Amino acid sequence: MKLNPRSSKESDAELDGGPEKPSTAPIAGRPHSVVLDPLRLYLEEIKRYPLLSREEEVELARRYQQKGDVQAAYRLITANLRLVVKIAMDFQRHWMQNLMDLIQEGNVGLMQAVKKFDPYRGYKFSYYASFWIKAYIIKFIMDNWKLVKIGTTQAQRKLFFNLRKEKERLESQGVAVEPKLLSERLDVKETEVVEMEQRLSSWEISLDAPLQEDSEDTHKSFLPANLVPADEQLADHEAKAILHEKLMLFRGQLKGKDAFIFDQRLIAESPLTLQEIGDKFGISRERVRQIESRLKDKLKAYLEEEIDDLEMLQESMIDA
């Protein structure tokens, strides 16, 4: 069940009973000599696949999980090809070559998401798939960014995507940015910060350029990009929607003091003080604090039980 940006028509043909023969008819209004942009053709092609409702996603995912229904998996994949393109375009700032490379890797991640997706967990498929798509795209970028790999460890991957963002954040606050401070904020070694800054600020000889003016041998490289972290708005929206849903379900189990403290302390934008709540119920500040602490522990246990990967969900929220 392999799909890439140039194979979806072939997949359709297989489902219809056999491969289509390529048409030799010219496109209306275009001479034979015109070469169409593959990316534009691909974008036009994937528009014909209808999007799915959440109920349709769950039904198709169940059919694939329970019966191995390849047609159901195919519909899940094709309906989310536009999601792959959107995520790939977010990552293009890190990749100065063909966008189709990122799309193809993202499609592999999408197929992996279909294989791993559990429709009984309550996640929206697009939210779950976005993590697999991003994981495959990031791995591709890391594997191909430079001759000397700059993202081969977890710490380096964290630095690769977060170093510039953290520097800009500290500078905007008027803080003197030093490697030691950055290492503490990003939880990596100071030496790793220095090394990554040197690598990201350096220029490399292009392997696409000649070794010498009269040489036919070439180099290849990627110019350093402005390493602004990839836009996480989609994942942020989905993560917050899931978290809100679970919080409301948890809230529905609470009564009396617990419900009031949850509303006015744990999720309120302007929480009441312990004293104000104590005065309302005729109890001490310390007793309110104890109830609040017990509620937090209970909420944490509930979320860990209800959400398959709570840490992943928290990391996907921009302002978490």
Quick one: pLDDT band at residue 74, thresholds 50, 70, 90? Answer: very high
Phi and psi for 269 in degrees, rounded to 5? -70, -35
Residues 6+ apart with CB under 8 A from 228: 93, 164, 165
Residue 76: predicted pLDDT: 95
Specify the residue for token string 């039904």: 59
> Which of the pair, 275 or 32, is modelled with greater confidence?
275
Rounded Cα gap, residues 103 and 105, in angstroms: 5
Please determine, looking at this structure, whether the domain spanning 8-19+36-144 carries the CATH number 3.30.930.10.
no
Least confident piece of the model among 83-92, 116-125, 156-165, 242-251: 156-165
Per-chain mean pLDDT for the chain: 75
179-206 pLDDT, tens per residue? Answer: 888 888 877 788 877 777 766 655 444 5
DSSP assigned state of 92: G
Q: What is the 3-state secondary structure (H, E, C) of 155-178?
A: HHHHHHHHHHHHHHHHHHCCCCCC
Rounded Cα gap, residues 8 and 78, in angstroms: 8
Distance of CA 302 to the CA centre of its chain: 25
Hey, where are the domains in the chain? 8-19+36-144, 147-230, 233-315
Q: What's the whole-number mean pLDDT along residues 61-70?
A: 93
> Which of the pair, 12 or 142, is modelled with greater confidence?
142
Phi and psi for 210 in degrees, rounded to 5? -65, 150
**12-49 as b/e, with b when 16 or more CB fall inside 10 Å?**
beeeeeeeeeeeeeeeeeeeeeeeeeeeeebeebbeeb
pLDDT at 35 over 70: no
CB atoms within 10 A of CB 270: 5
